Amino acid sequence: MVQLAEISWTDAGELFRRTDVALIPVGSTEQHGPHNPLGTDHLVAGALARVVGDRTGVAVLPTIPVGVSEHHRHFPGTLWVPPSTFREYVRAVALSAASHGAKKIIFINGHGGNTASLLEVAGELRREHGVFSAVIMAFPPGMAGHAGAGETSVNLYFHRWLVRMDRAVDTRQKERLGPLRMVGLGRVGPAQFPWDTIDLSETGVLGAAGEAIASKTASEEEGRRLMEPYIEEICRFIEELKMAKAEELLSRP
């Protein structure tokens, strides 16, 4: 058993003597359309970390469930913290694990809004605290759309009982912010702007301006197709990381 919250301190001591790798699942509690649970990002990150931890034998810390999600605030149930608070909290959790011997810490991140903050923390851990740290996204690369068919399929794969497919909607994204034409995600003409989800979508299903984002085609089978090769890839990386010497992975003075 590698779930830190489910073992005693004596078992934890043995676990950290056996491995210096720890996974910290991080996500958010935010809207994911009318059909997915608010906890989608942290539930997927936690589920992925559990699978990887079970297969590789590394420590899995408790999931951090609230992140940088203010841009979803117009939708009831969304929770968020400022980036500075998020960074401070995540850093403190990581350093507490490091104090027990976890010198290689991997954030399994389910929410894109957390990424910049997590990379900043990972850089500080690596440069200033002698801890190698990196970020792995909980969803496979190239999976487009927030609450679209890909993300919904992953939800169905990990916890189908929480998904209300009878409420799934396909959504065409808005194309204008006032008189300005939006391009892609978060751009008006050549300029980037700090968008809110409501600027693009009334349903919470989110993609890029002018695009149609499907949710109704999601399936558990598609979630399995997306996730199982990705799980294998992550497990291979963690096995390589276990074998590496921590000091060889740190920033040069």
- Residue 35 CA to its chain's centroid (Å): 19
Q: Would you give the end-to-end CA distance of the chain in angstroms?
A: 37
Q: List pLDDT tens digits, range 52-82.
A: 999 999 999 999 999 999 999 999 999 999 9
Instruction: Report yes or no: 223 and 158 within 8 Å, Cβ to Cβ.
Output: yes
Instruction: Report yes or no: 164 and 34 within 8 Å, Cβ to Cβ.
Output: yes
Q: How many CB atoms lie within 10 A of CB 222?
A: 17
Domains of the chain: 4-140+227-247 (3.40.50.10310)
What burial class does residue 243 get, using C-beta atoms within 10 Å of its C-beta: 0-12 exposed, 13-18 middle, 19+ buried?
exposed
Dmax over Cα atoms in the chain, in whole Å? 63
Handedness of CA 82, 88, 91, 95 (dihedral sign): negative
What is the mean pLDDT of the segment spanning 124-139? Answer: 97
Q: List pLDDT tens digits, range 207-247.
A: 999 999 999 999 999 999 999 999 999 999 999 999 999 99
What is the mean pLDDT of the segment spanning 198-206? Answer: 96
State yes or no: pLDDT of 8 exceeds 70.
Answer: yes
Q: List pLDDT tens digits, range 147-185.
A: 999 999 999 999 999 999 999 999 999 999 999 999 988
Q: What is the pLDDT at residue 252?
A: 87
Q: 50 falls in which pLDDT band (50, 70, 90)?
A: very high
Q: List pLDDT tens digits, range 85-130.
A: 999 999 999 999 999 999 999 999 999 999 999 999 999 999 999 9
Q: What is the pLDDT at residue 113?
A: 96
**Residue 184: DSSP 8-state:** T
Q: Which residues contact 127 (CB under 8 A, 6 or more apart)?
A: 250, 251
